[in-house]
Amino acid sequence: MAKTTGQVEPLRGGPGGHRRLDLMPYGLLLPSMIVLAVLLLYPIARAFLTSLGRHVLFRPQATRAFIGLDNYAYILSDSRTWHSLYLAALYSVVVVGGSMLIGLATALAVRRPFRGRAFYRMAIIIPWVVPPVATSLVWSWMLDYQFGVVNHLLRAAHLISAPIGWLTTTQWAMPSMFLVGIWKMYPIASVMLLAGLQSIPDELYEAAKIDGANRFDGFRHVTLPGLKPVYGILALLLTLWSFKAFTYIYIMTGGGPSQATETAVVLVYLQAFKFFDFGVASALGIVMLLILVVFTIVYMKLVYGGVGPESRA
Amino acid sequence: MKTVAGYSKQLRLNRGLGKVALYVGLTTVVVLLGFPLYWMFASAVQEEHAIFSFPPTMVPFRTFTLEPLYKVFFLERRPMARMLWNSLMVSVVSSTASVLLGLWGGYALSRFRFRGRALAGFLILLTQMLPGSLIIIPLYMILTDLKLSNSLWGLTLIYMSFNTPFSIWMLKGFVEGIPKDLEEQGLIDGCSRMGALARITLPLMVPGIVATFIFGFIAAWGEYVFALTLLDSVTEWTYAVGVASLKGEYMVTWNEIMSASFVSTLPVLLLFLFMQRYLLAGLTAGGVKG
């Protein structure tokens, strides 16, 4: 497009800025939107259709394309469903809360310059790099009942007298999942909160000090409000991710012992690939998706008063 | 009554104590949080009898051996080296593709106001709500239709689509950090819009592109569920699937499992250590501006 008149077309088409429709943003977004539509949205539609029929592998004679909402009626009347949704919610609340707290504490600790800061800042992010499978395996090994180092160290420190079945008792399995979930998730919180902290101008703290504020006041009235754009979106993303956390739980306990760690997404997987009931599995997956969509919309309305990229941050 | 000198001495003492507390506190935290990685390494370089001895060897000086590593790669019936290669290819190709899609999409979302922009933004957020195991079954059917089931290409496509939303989001933040005036200057100098994008914006985006690529790479490298479900033959497995399958045996040889795990951690760990400046910049650009 040659510009011979010397007039520059504004890059950003403001209200009334363009008379004709600018096709460039659509062209740029088209490839990624096609990818998302084909590989993410179309599968949702197909899963929804599956959830309306009876599809059990190895029982092809029972297959029916359409049985209405029977699968939904079945899962909603099954206490196993409600238990799995409760566990997923509990896991999200504990892991997101714990990750945000540790993330904030570590971010605050490395905010100001000091000797060796670069090392510590790097070291606190490392758990994020360890691949999920390796994470699950090393924690399985550390939490092993008989030879695990955790039981050994706790006994050596006289904190416990007998080894604890961290992954094999209903009482401890879920707390162990919380521990691993937080260990893996707090680094993201730490990095993003640190970025938020560094975007708060020092003048605000000085002004607060002149007004007679102590450090706690400064934290409450300068730090927390200044961090709001970060922890607003951070809490949402972490919640979405942890509600669907699968790999750690699946590898470490497989949902057991006796369903103690069977969160919703684990149950979806088991329904599909252990009981091969694709209809029921899809129905539960759709219910999960609906819960997260409603949660996100309500959250966005409450925190930002809208939905979409404009309203973020 | 204290003198001014007394006050400043007290202040210096407090500051010194604060510093000691900071170092002690941070070191404790780092040791606690870093311990699993250390333990993975320590268990990876010991013989089997040392692993199951009591008390466990905290520092494997005398029992150090690379035998478990050798066993995993040469005595296992699974082609672990082949799987490493599979993982590498899938991760590199899928994250390169998603960076490209993310560049276009992120540029569009940050530089233009257009009808449907909010919808695109919500679509991107929606993808973060999808439970993976919900779409495995339909994805498997789609890949079968495309004749891509049980193939690394199919898996590459899926990883690309998973990484694209995050790519768009992160690169959008980076584009916003580059002044629009620079591009307009290029337009005045006679560049086309694409020319201005390629010659002016793109070079400034290199840190963002590197960061986004590494994020995609790490996500694809570690992905487990889809690879587990969509790949049937052992020669097509990714390394993550191979490592996880070591545990399913009748006897759990933890030293071998840990050495295989450590091998899967090492590439991403090195990538992170060398590229961390870019990575942190990446998260912050996307994160703060949202």
Domain at A155, CATH number: 1.10.3720.10
Q: How far apart are CA B229 and CA A197, in angstroms?
A: 41
The predicted pLDDT at position A1 comes to 40
Cα separation, A130 vs A139, in Å, equals 12
Residue count of chain B: 290
Q: Is residue A1 domain-resident? A: no
What is the structure's pLDDT at A114? 82
**Statement: residue A222 has pLDDT above 70:** yes
- Domain assignment of residue A192, given as a range: 82-245
Q: Which residues of B246-279 are buried (b: 16+ CB within 10 A; e: fewer)?
A: bbeeeebbbbbbbbbbbbbbebbbebbeebbebb
- What is the number of structural domains in chain A? 1
B132 and B190 part of one domain: yes
Dihedral angle sign, alpha carbons of residues B89, B90, B91, B95: positive
Report whether pLDDT(B112) > 50: yes
Structure confidence at residue A162 (pLDDT): 86
pLDDT of residue B7: 63
**pLDDT tens readout for residues A153-171:** 998 888 888 888 899 899 9
Q: Which residue of B has its CA nearest to A310?
A: B118
- Number of domains observed in the structure of chain B: 2
Q: Is A123 on the interface with B (CB under 8 A)?
A: yes
In a domain, A185, yes or no: yes
Residues of A in contact with B186 (CB under 8 A): none
Same domain? For B163 and B247 the reply is: yes
Give domain status of residue A296, yes or no: no
Asked if residue A160 belongs to a domain, the reply is: yes
pLDDT digits (tens, 9 = 90+) for B212-239: 898 899 999 999 999 988 888 888 899 9
- ipTM confidence: 0.85
Nearest to B130 by CA among A86, A244, A300: A244
Q: Does A282 touch chain B (CB under 8 A)?
A: yes
Q: Which residue segment(s) compose the domain that B45 sits in?
A: 4-68
Whether B135 shows a pLDDT value over 70: the answer reads: yes
Q: Does A204 touch chain B (CB under 8 A)?
A: no
Residue with tokens 């206490």: A79
Residue A34 lies in a domain: no
For residue A14, pLDDT beyond 60:
no
Q: Residue type for A130, please?
A: V
User: Does the beta carbon of B6 lie under 8 angstroms from any beta carbon of chain A?
Assistant: no
In this structure, is residue A177 part of a structural domain? yes
Q: State residue B285's pLDDT score.
A: 60
User: What is chain A's mean pLDDT, rounded?
Assistant: 83
Q: How confident is the model at residue B17, as a pLDDT?
A: 77
Question: Does residue B264 surpass a pLDDT of 80?
Answer: yes
Please determine, for residue B1, whether its predicted confidence score (pLDDT) is greater than 60.
Answer: no
CB nearest B138 (choices: A46, A234, A246):
A46
Interface contact flag, A11 B184, Cβ < 8 Å: yes
B251 and B143 housed in the same domain: yes
- Of B50, B68, B86, which closes a domain? B68
Whether residue A298 lies inside any domain: the answer is no
Task: Kindly state the percentage of chain B with pLDDT values over 90.
Answer: 22
Q: What's the CATH code of the domain at B179?
A: 1.10.3720.10
- Average pLDDT, stretch B68-85? 84
Inter-residue contact B111 to A12 (CB < 8 Å): yes
More confident residue, A311 or B174: B174
Distance in Å, alpha carbon of A247 to nearest chain B alpha carbon: 7
Find the distance separating the first CA and the last CA of chain A, reported in whole Å.
35
Co-location of B137 and B254 in the same domain: yes
Pair (B130, B25) in one structural domain: no
Q: Torsion angle, CA of A70/A74/A77/A80, rounded to 10 degrees?
A: -160
Same domain, B98 and B219: yes
Which of B133, B189, B274 is the mutation pick for testing A, counting most A CBs within 10 A?
Answer: B133
Predicted local confidence at residue A37, as pLDDT: 86
Alpha-carbon distances, residue A115 vs A103, A119, A281, A288 (angstroms): 21, 9, 54, 47
Residue for token pair 């640190």: A194
